[in-house]
Amino acid sequence: MINSYSRLAPAIRQGKLLVQRGTFTERYLVRPISSSQTQFEKHDCKVLVVGGGSGGCALAAKLSSRLGRGKVIVLEPEERHYYQPMFTLIGGGMKRLEQSYRLMADVLPKKAKWLQEKAVEFDPDNNTVRTSAGNTVKYDMLLIATGLQLNFNKIPGLEEALAVPNGKVCSIYSPKYVDRVFNCLRNTNEGNAIFTFPLSSIKCAGAPQKIAYIAEHYFRKTGKRDKINITYNTALPVLFGVKHYADALWPIMKKRNITVNTCRNLIEVKHEQDVAIFENVNKPGQYFEEKYSMLHAVPPQSAPDELTRCKQLVDEAGYVDVDKSTLQHTRYKNVFAIGDSSSTPNSKTAAAAAAQSPVVFRNMIAAMEGKPLKDVYDGYASCPLVTGYHTCMLAEFDYSLTPLETFPVAQNKERYSMFYMKKDLMPLLYWKLMLPGYWNGPALMRNILSVFKSKQK
């Protein structure tokens, strides 16, 4: 034991330990042994980025490249960075979970300092954030990129149902549960397959119906479709928030014989009886009990509790209160937000974070230099609506819910080309261009291709 410790001691003193596991080399942060259990660290930085997801990683890369080594700290507790748009394809058996992630140490920029800790207390009046390890980070500028919190526990019985081995309840919304989805598809041979959309803002508002389309196609491919009723219960009053695409999706639902119930919110799961209970959003107190052979549940989502507790930073709904154009906080001029945890009224997608990234970057630099903020975010978001094993409809739109399409073809139609882009090209773009800070969304490409659009008119 003494000899083993001697070999590890240099790594422990440096606060790092490399452990070979399978085909991956994973980095674990090890705290040096201290005689005091209450000795905390204080960190200072030019910019503190809270969150190492899509927006946080991209902005950390841009800012650390501009400001130099050691000027940016990223506060992120997770060991793995997941490409969450792949979860829908994993649910359909088209991708594997191990293809959806990279080690956080490999995607965060080398010029930034990574603290593998969680932000637990924000103090914007004193420009500090306290971490889960009891440490304090003092910043000149703060970028909040925490993403959304999955609240499976808000639906009674749902977590218990998801814990049943080889059970009938599943969800693509977490790496913990996503592999259950394809197992459910394979195990469902008859009865009711129910898919839900919750009464809250969520990551990628198209995903709950994407997995319904994929499931329907899978049941057809495997010869089980005639014995399975498929229902899509959404708490929203519409099928999709942008009418241009909703008008194209309704005929698909009808053609595939998928029953759509709007304004119907999942409020409880009784897995012992295989029963899901829904409430009429427009008539509180009116309930529907539905028997299921398979239930795909989407949890309600919110900004993280640690963030919503800081009332100075968030609006009444609990999201970071920023100007929707500049993404600067409405009260604290040295605070910005990117991605899902901000109050901007756009669809919460990775594509939106990509489009926000150049605006946030240039406005943060302008704020540091005491210059006016000139860059504006137009609310761009994109949702590749996968409708089966080889088709996809690429929805793109802005704050006004007006289509803002990139390609010189009708994008409200199912196309194999869009499916191929979603399945094979977008992951490469994400890992190779977006996270390193090079991809700013398709605006430039849209401007170039607009020449072809004008010729078609």
Residues facing residue 31 across a β-bridge: none
| Residue with tokens 């997801």, as numbered in its chain | 53
Q: Is 204 a catalytic residue?
A: yes
Residues with Cβ within 8 Å of 14's Cβ and at least 6 positions away in sequence, in order, are none
| Residue with tokens 């902005």, as numbered in its chain | 59
* Catalytic residue (one of 57, 170, 184, 204): 204
For 196, 231, 245, 353, the CA distances from 241, given in Å and listed in that order, are: 16, 19, 8, 19
How far is Cα 355 from Cα 377, in angstroms, rounded to an integer?
7
241, 379 in Cβ contact below 8 A? Answer: no
Q: Is 170 a catalytic residue?
A: no
How far is Cα 28 from Cα 303, in angstroms, rounded to an integer?
27
Q: Is 275 helix (H, G, I), strand (E, B) or coil?
A: strand
How far is Cα 454 from Cα 457, in angstroms, rounded to an integer?
5
Longest dimension (CA), the chain: 78
* Catalytic residue (one of 57, 170, 184, 383): 383
Region of residue 280 (left: phi > 0; alpha: psi -120 to 50; beta: else): beta
How far is Cα 209 from Cα 206, in angstroms, rounded to an integer?
6
Q: Enumerate the active-site residues.
A: 204, 383
